[in-house]
Structure 1
Amino acid sequence: MSSEQQPAIELRAVTKKFATPGGAIYTALADLNLTVAPGQFCAIVGPTGCGKSTTLTLISGLERPSAGAALVAGRAVNGITPGVGFMFQNDAVFPWKSVLDNVAAGPRFRGRSKAAANEAARDWLRRVGLTGFEDRYPHQLSGGMRKRVALAQSLINEPEVLLMDEPFSALDVQTRSIMSDELLGLWELTRPAVMFVTHDLEEAIALADKVVVLTAGPGRVKATFDVDLPRPRRVQEIRFTDEFVRLYSEIWEALRAEVETAYARTTSKAAS
């Protein structure tokens, strides 16, 4: 990112605290500083409980920082952020709506006519390989097909920023690999800035331009790694390259200590 280029996403000295059911204060993030450039694909990895998903809720405006600031395109986030798409771990589809109506819902909400929204939805369903399934309902689709619907829902609005919270974690290994390739192909069309949360380090490296490792909670940036692998990428193929193996080893060295720390805390609590 050049010095003149304004970040698409920026977290400045962000701390986020929550009240626990028992009345204590839990600090999820502490003094977190992070930037994502326009068009950059950033993957966030770290142990369970390090605040990965919390970073996404702060950027989207679903939560507010306890201290510090979250910014999108240089503007402080003070509510639900325009121009930001959010793809959740669980399918955020309307079960009572058809596939076509689910994908058209975003444009309709933004004021487009039904005809224009449906035309755009059909185009995006074609792009994600769901032509012929427009009249189906979510319960009639496989897990991978529902993820394609969710991708179309997110990308039809051409967001400047796309937040993804472990979107493929519930899929089997083969379908997950296919969906990763689908995601990269669709991302190339409009190139939003992406913040992708995952527990899978291989997935992070295969998809991203940059991998950020967070510490065991409270989450801080421990290390940032540039992923200089050529694009376009095929996820399954890129994993066998020497550079991928080198990056994996380097990033895992940074991540392993945090995973061990988080695990030790969990077992200590269980024993007490």
Structure 2
Amino acid sequence: MIHALILMCFCLLGVFGDKEEVKISVMEGHSVTLHTDVTHIQRDDEIEWRFNNIRIARIKRSVDINPSYDETDIFRDRLKMNNQTGDLNITDVSSQHSGLYHLNIFTGNKQKVKAFSLTAYAPLPTPVIASDVSHCSSLTCVLLCSVMNVRHVTLSWYNGSHTHSSISVSEQKSISLPLEVEHQDTNTYSCVVHNPIRNQTKHFCLADHCRPCSDVVNGCGTVEFVVLRLVVTAVIGVAAVAAVIVLSYDIRSRRDEEKRKSHTSPTTASSDE
């Protein structure tokens, strides 16, 4: 009984072999090659590629020297299998190609299995930095670093070369990360969005984004300040119009008085004679 179990174990090892898994990252729109580590396919070899358990490419040297493709819509015209090594090349990679790929190599009664975990990353936008005026004060200000419509990224504030704070997302969304600093802060800050293969950095000048603010009238562009400025402008305008009207009325009154006096003067002189 023991001998039978040992023999079964050796048989299973001979059939399935050792399973390897390789993690691969690629930018969307680029190409990627999955390697078999085979230098030359032998006559009795069969190499098969599967994506999420669906066969997409195969070469069986005893039948044909050229590979065959069972292409689904997402792989149409994007696959090319090397007929000497069995390597699989995928062109114009998109997020739909992220997933698990299995390589099966059959040689006689032996099978070698290798797995590839592929992740396709979208191009990274440049972070945008803006002042959060709702938290503006005379001592500190809050800066917001934002990126739109991203996935599988980490957004971080850096103080020099040290990470100050971070936030990560896997699903596609827009994210913002606040940073509170003092107006007199002399440190060098930057905002970075990154994934495992690329990053985008936004440097900034603290003086351009963070200015002192008073309670009401301030330079932070608050709604209250804008409304107050409009009201003051309107009041000044009304006062100016009223002054013009009063001045015009006064000038007209003086002219009428002078005309009246000029008409009454001759009559008075005749009476005296």
> TM-score normalized by structure 2?
0.27
Structure of greater relative contact order (alpha carbons < 8 Å, 6+ residues apart): 1
Greater CA radius of gyration, 1 or 2? 2
Task: From the two aligned structures, give the one with the greater helix fraction.
Answer: 1
> TM-score normalized by structure 1?
0.27
